[in-house]
Structure 1
Amino acid sequence: MSNQFSTVQRLGFVLLVAAVATVGLAAIGGAQAADYSTNETVELTNSTEPITVSLDWNETIDDSANTSATVTFYNETEYANDSANATVALEDSIAANANNTTEVEYNQSDAGLELDGEYRVVVTGPDSAIDSASISDSSGFLGGVFPSGGGDLGGGMLAGIAVIGAALIGAAVIVLRD
């Protein structure tokens, strides 16, 4: 009887792994449709400025197509309450540079940004052009996201692979335990 129970447990676990893998594959598929977007909260102080936005551009984009990313600094308090109606402190456009990284620094001398101001920095652009983006300040790395759409491993694809990998590791642990 113990052997049959073990078989039922294994079958249940295989079905669970299949369900988790399906969710992971759905995340991979969903990654192909969205525009690239990331955002971080920053405080502009003497110890954090400049705020640096770094964009890694895909090698297949056409530089002559006027492709760009938009960097928008919103008032953080307003953004947290109602992102659709938050005050825009600064908006900038960064031109694509195929297969290169573009870094742009922002500080208190930029119109709209004030020292000791707290901002939500939002970077958006076509996922076919941007491999990854990050936001950092002089105190260190604030955040970034997985590469998106245009690269070999989009953000959803990496998330899907992580879900599938975790499911397979869990399956291996349970099978080896029996």
Structure 2
Amino acid sequence: MEYRVVHKDSIIGERIRAARKEAGYSQEALINELRMHGYKTPSRNTLSRAESGDLDALNGLPLGTIIGMSAILNCDPGYLLEERDHRYYEVEFVHKKTGLSVDAIFNIVDIQNDALKAVLSRLIESQNLQFFLKVIDEIVKLQNSESHGNTPLLAYEMEGRSMSVSKLRMLEWFLAEHIREEVNTIAADFAEKAKCDEKK
């Protein structure tokens, strides 16, 4: 039976308690689930002390029990054991590789509509993605500039009159129009594919 040596500043107990509550389990219910799945179960008192950070109780939890908890509470064992920053290894991997926030990743994961997932996938796959990102980066810079009282203007002529417009407003409109065109193209492709599928 394998045990871990838990140090005095450990937050393993806090993570077990937070994951348990988020999953909607009482301490007794979690112990019962562990028992049903064949894991060595702590007493209610031991679990309570462990969640409160009691070192003796934490060090008395077999590694297999913590792995069982992670399976029942739907989180990575490494998260409970303080080896990872996020509850899910996949989320931490994507976060570190892409820089996307955890909330952004979960928002993508939570999309239930397959058609919306397909549209989002096509947008990300698009050759225009890097172009869109550059425009967004320029918009952010202009927003920062305007917040400091500097409003860059673009000059143009209309019906022989000299006009000017905020460069930020123009770029925002430009980006919205191009994304709209991209989405319309993707939607048209899906509609065409649906027609072809109906004929088969």
TM-score with structure 1 setting the length: 0.29
Give the greater-gyration-radius structure (CA).
2
Q: Which has the higher strand share?
A: 1
Asked which structure has the greater RCO (Cα within 8 Å, sep 6+), the reply is 1
Q: Which has the higher helix share?
A: 2
TM-score with structure 2 setting the length: 0.27
